[in-house]
Amino acid sequence: MVPSTLEAPRTRTGSARSLRTHRWRRTAGRAATGWAFAGPGTLLVVGLSIFPAVWAFLISRTRWNGIAPARDLGWGNYQRMVEDPELWESVRHTLLLTALFVPSSIAFGLVVAIALSQPIRLIRFYRTCIFVPFVASAAATGILAGYVFNPQFGSANELLRRLGLPAQQFLEDPRQVLVVICLIALWGQVGFVAVIYLAALQDIPKDLVEAATVDGASRWQVFWHVTVPALRPVTVFTGVWQTITVLQLFDLVFTTTRGGPLNASQTVVYYVYELAFQTQRYGYGSAVAYGLFAFTMLLTVAMILYSRRAKVEAF
Amino acid sequence: MAATVKRRRLPFSPWHLLLMPLSLTFALPLLQMVLTSFMTAADINRFPPRLIPTQLSLAGYQALFAESQILRWLANTVVVAAISIVGHLVLCSLAGYGFARLRFPGRTLGFFAMVATVMVPIQLLMIPTFLMFSRLGIANTLAAAFVPWLASAFGIFLMRQFFLSLPRELEEAARLDGCGTFGAFRRIVLPLAKPALATLAVFTLLGSWNDLVWPLIAISDERWYTLQVGLTSFQGTRRTQFELLMAGNVVATMPLLIGFVLAQRWFVASMTFTGLNR
């Protein structure tokens, strides 16, 4: 242990033994105080994830429906993942959704933040409007989206009709469904990203922008060479955060399409839910969830390492 | 000269061309939700669809209150949110302080184990947690909805970041005046942490109020549904009764929405706070 600054300087008067017991007591005392503070919260958080996660690993090595005795399969479930076409389909959907959602939420959030940081009229009204969907739950959002994107009487098609564009099937078209889910997720999340960028924009030193302007940089050049680099730590943070969010996006899929039509919006998390709670395949479901966990962890670690190497202090 | 006058009057800015349609896109669906909840079924099925109801109707709300236990679900949700907020404020501030300021064996390991839990997908935990709750006898009760919300890695991390930013001298002065560790925490540090605690309360309220996955899995008795589970239970059975669905949506969304609009500054300050304390 690193000696704390409060530790008394060593004295030569006490014998070696009493010094040792003294030290031990101090360490024990510090441990007791420290864990009295940190213990309850940590125990709850770790207990509700590490313990179930270990249990899930044991389950993932069995064939089990929750009722009949579990049968040990070793790595069987994991081998099966490799040749499960439905899994790879859901991986493809998840990656597509991530590729659509993460860059667009960051780019869109940044543009909205810059627009909302302008000293113009109605700006508080605009901020309220753009942020308010973030407060709505995924359940409410999903039900509302089902209404707005209803092919027969939804207002989305009505808008297209007035613009002279052909009507769409939206959530009922396997080729459109992921894009529409991405749009719905953006509707709810852009306000959050924008608020984080708004705060970061205010932190950019004004003289930096002024100096660049004096040196003859155009507004566009200032944006690319001053603003964007200054925001990089926030961008890395938001990128990791939004990636974890979209990889684990469940409630929106559940309340809009339940994985349909024709499994076109079945993502990995939805597949796990279906395996576990619709078809009671606890073992295989846990194995797939472990695959997702490993992937999330690899991706997060890679992004953090990259940001460390690029000297972005986001974490 | 004209330029200065114009600047003072805030001339039309091209940003409005971006922001006006954008804000309407963001706000109109929620307005439509409210308006639709007051429509008659005839108005909803009219073609072309209309935004404004021809007559105000309470049919959706009447059906909602008569055919579902929505008030009970609302009460359940309020209880879950209240317990979650209290749990978070107490446990996360204590743990955050411990990790930020106290030195004790196991601190680093404990902290990293706690932060690492963020990456574990809920879907991995669903099955064992469901089994665990069943064996503890809290599956199918309100406790199933709030126990996972009593503390969170996010909350502990947020509080730790805040405490790290406070100058150490404050507590050292209190310690010299004879305060114990806990006394210094409660009397000196905690009062200074109000902005962080407010942020934590806002996020816990949003999270626990809007949580769907946990209660969906752990609660099957309709009496113990939260609003979100109740809403999704409508989906299967009342797909065509949009006035009822929207009325349910309004009941589930309005408390937070009104709270947000009334306390917007405070809300956004909270969000900003997290962004700054990344």
Q: What is the DSSP string of B147-198?
A: GGGS--HHHHHHHHHHHHHS-THHHHHHHHTT--HHHHIIIIIHHHTHHHHH
Q: Does the beta-carbon distance from B23 to A130 stay under 8 Å?
A: yes
Q: Is residue A46 part of a domain?
A: no
User: What is the CATH number for A166?
Assistant: 1.10.3720.10
Q: What share of chain B is helix, strand, coil (3-state, %, to 5)?
A: 75, 0, 25
- Are residues A291 and A298 in contact, defined by beta-carbon separation less than 8 angstroms? no
Domains of chain B are 53-277 (1.10.3720.10)
Please indicate if any CB of chain A lies within 8 Å of the CB of B139. no
Name A71's bridge partners. Answer: A63
Q: Is residue A54 part of a domain?
A: no
- Are residues A45 and B98 in contact, defined by beta-carbon separation less than 8 angstroms? no
Q: Is residue A235 part of a domain?
A: yes
Please report which confidence band the pLDDT of residue B12 belongs to, taking 50, 70 and 90 as the band edges. confident
In terms of Cα–Cα distance, which of B41, B66, B70, B69 is closest to B53? Answer: B41
Q: Is residue A93 part of a domain?
A: yes
- Are residues A251 and B212 in contact, defined by beta-carbon separation less than 8 angstroms? yes
Residue B80: list chain A partners with CB under 8 A.
Answer: none
In tens, the pLDDT along B17-41 reads 999 999 999 999 999 999 999 998 8
Q: Does the beta-carbon distance from B49 to A148 stay under 8 Å?
A: no
A 99-158 → B contacts, CB under 8 A: 111-112, 115-116, 118-122, 124-133, 135-140, 142-148, 153-155, 158
Q: Which residue has the higher pLDDT, B73 or B167?
A: B73
Q: Is residue A141 part of a domain?
A: yes
In tens, the pLDDT along A39-53 reads 999 999 999 998 899
Q: Is residue A142 part of a domain?
A: yes
**pLDDT at site A180:** 95
Report the domain count for chain A: 1
Q: Is residue A24 part of a domain?
A: no
In tens, the pLDDT along A197-241 reads 888 888 888 888 888 888 888 888 888 888 888 888 888 888 888
Cα diameter, chain A? 94
**Distance, in angstroms, between B151 CA and closest chain A CA?**
6
In tens, the pLDDT along A83-102 reads 999 999 999 999 999 999 99
The percentage of chain B sitting over the pLDDT mark of 70, rounded to a whole number, equals: 91
Q: How far is residue A271's CA from residue A277's CA, in Å, rounded to a whole number? A: 10
In tens, the pLDDT along B172-192 reads 888 888 888 888 888 888 998
pTM across the whole model:
0.86
Q: Does the beta-carbon distance from A139 to B97 stay under 8 Å?
A: no
Q: By residue range, what is the domain housing residue A288?
A: 84-310
**pLDDT at site B236:** 75
**pLDDT at site B90:** 96
B 77-136 → A contacts, CB under 8 A: 91-92, 94-99, 102-107, 110-111, 113-114, 117-129, 131-132
| Residue numbers of chain A with a pLDDT score lower than 50 | 1-9, 315
Question: A231 φ, ψ to 5°?
Answer: -90, 0
Please report which confidence band the pLDDT of residue B1 belongs to, taking 50, 70 and 90 as the band edges. very low
Q: How far is residue A82's CA from residue A30's CA, in Å, rounded to a whole number? A: 50
